[in-house]
Amino acid sequence: MPMLTQHQQLSLLLMMLMRRRRRRLLLALLLDDDDERAQLVQHTVPNNLFFDHYALEDPAFRMKYFVTKAQFMELYHGIQPWIPSRRHAQIDMRVVFAAVLHRLSSGNTYQRCQDAYGISRSLFHEYEHCIVIGLDEWLAPLITFPRSEAEVSDECRTWSDMDPQFEDCVGAADGTLIHFTPRGLTEEERKSWLCRKGFMSMNILVCIRHNRTFSFVASGFEAGACHDSYMVEQSGFLNTIPRGKYVLFDAGGPLVNKRMLTPYRNTRYHVSAFGGNPPVEQAIGHLKSRWKILSSSRFTCSIDKCIHYVNACVGLHNFIAEPQDDDDVEDEEDDDDDVVAQSPAHEALVWRDNIANKCFDTFMQAQ
């Protein structure tokens, strides 16, 4: 067998400790051709001292991570306060961050991400949760309703441009399901996380602005036991809506005051108002198509960790803040049965009737 340099011997010895590359390393030891062996060793040893993918052209980089290089570095520097001070000297933390970001965008298993980036299982688990929490908390300020008078006015004007009767509207809300298998629960406890479609999932409540970015998210609700009305009540969603304004909701929401406009039963006003393409379902479809971890049937973790994942993905969606072509993304299917837990308030019913009458009068005048 040809002699190896000291550097090659050290590299091979270190890599022998890594389970995923044993076959290649043994083959490298048996090769007689120096160039062929060197090429194989080069592809075998993970280059953790620098970030190979950062050398990609920006379009290719963006296709892989859904962010530009500049956005990647901004995110990386933004989450530094959440990264443990104890670092692995031989590991470039950008590689670990890229592996976590790729897991969010691809929905791949832990093993595939670890293999693709040359990261050990213990190292990936050590930093993954910290990175996801960092993304959740650092991006949280981006998930908010307009607050200043000018911002609220602009938001209302945009919605009224879609339909003149929605002059005080500041968003559209809906519930959706996230594929998720909770860890650490008994068989009896797991039943409440089984949705009517037969798979384990978490129920979340979201609200969007006119530009399809999210202004509110609440997660952690059992898919088999919580309907939209319950999520609205428990999350305090109505209290976050700017005073004197309202959001659009489907029939599953409670019509208890003038902050949430729901349609008449068996009627979807979104369809007539937005050409059969509800904006909130567009946004949910974009969210799940970008961050495929939210629709992956292999997504298994604790409930608290799943909440951080959801919030991080919603924050990343707003951070990118560039609408996609609606033809490229399927709208999210309505996940609920429009079950209403609360009886509509009389004042809210009169308010909805007035808006409906105005819509009808406008329609008749246009004929």
104 with 21, same domain: the answer is no
Residues 246 and 118 in one domain: no
pLDDT number for residue 356: 64
- Per DSSP bridges, beta strands 246-248 and 260-261 are parallel
pLDDT at position 160: 84
Over residues 178-183, mean pLDDT: 88
Q: Are residues 165 and 282 in the same domain?
A: yes
265 and 338 belong to one structural domain: yes
What range does the domain containing 93 cover? 52-140
Q: What's the rounded Cα separation, in Å, for the pair 333 and 212? A: 17
**What SS3 state is found at 173?**
strand
Where in 255-335 does DSSP place strands (E)?
Answer: 260-261, 300-301
Q: How many CB atoms lie within 10 A of CB 143?
A: 19
- Number of compact structural domains in the chain: 3
Amino acid letter, 345: A
Looking at residue 67, the DSSP 8-state letter turns out to be: S
What pLDDT does residue 13 have? 59
In this structure, are 87 and 38 located in the same domain? Answer: no
- Per-residue pLDDT, 288: 94
Is residue 1 in a domain? no
- What's the pLDDT tens digit per position in 110-145? 888 888 888 888 888 889 999 999 999 999 999 999
Segment of 72-86, 193-207, 305-319, 328-342 carrying the highest mean pLDDT = 305-319
**Which residues sit opposite 248 in a β-bridge?**
172, 261
Of the residues 140, 166, 201, the one at which a domain ends = 140
Higher pLDDT among residues 301 and 272, named by residue: 301
Query: Where does a domain end: 89, 124, 140?
Result: 140
pLDDT at 226: 77
Between the CA atoms of 14, 76, 68 and 100, what dihedral angle is there, to the nearest 10 degrees? 50
Residue 34 pLDDT > 70, yes or no? no
Q: What does the block give as tokens for 33?
A: 């051709």
pLDDT of residue 33: 46
Q: Does one domain contain both 280 and 297?
A: yes
Residue 155 has pLDDT above 90, yes or no: yes
**Is the domain of 211 the same as that of 284?**
yes
Supply the mean pLDDT for the chain: 77
Measured in residues, the chain has a length of 367
Contact predicate 291/105, CB 8 Å: yes
Which is nearest to 293 in space by CA: 320, 317, 318, 277? 317
Report CA-CA distances (Å) from 264 to 206, 267, 268, 276, 278: 21, 5, 8, 17, 16
pLDDT in tens, 222-233: 887 778 888 988
pLDDT for 286-331, tens place per residue? Answer: 999 999 999 888 888 899 999 999 999 999 999 998 644 444 444 4
Among residues 113, 140, 167, which one ends one of the domains?
Answer: 140
Please indicate, yes or no, if residue 336 is contained in any of the structural domains.
yes
CA angle 288, 204, 315 (to 5 degrees): 55
157 and 117: one domain?
A: no
Token readout for 125 is: 């688990």
Give the closest residue to 254 by CA, choosing from 341, 350, 351.
Answer: 341
Can you give the pLDDT at residue 194?
Answer: 87
Q: Which residue has the higher pLDDT, 356 or 285?
A: 285
Do 78 and 152 lie in a common domain?
no
The arithmetic mean of pLDDT across residues 337-344, rounded, is 50
Whether residues 115 and 166 share a domain: the answer is no
Q: What is the mean pLDDT of residues 273-280?
A: 63
Indicate if the pLDDT at residue 361 is higher than 80.
no
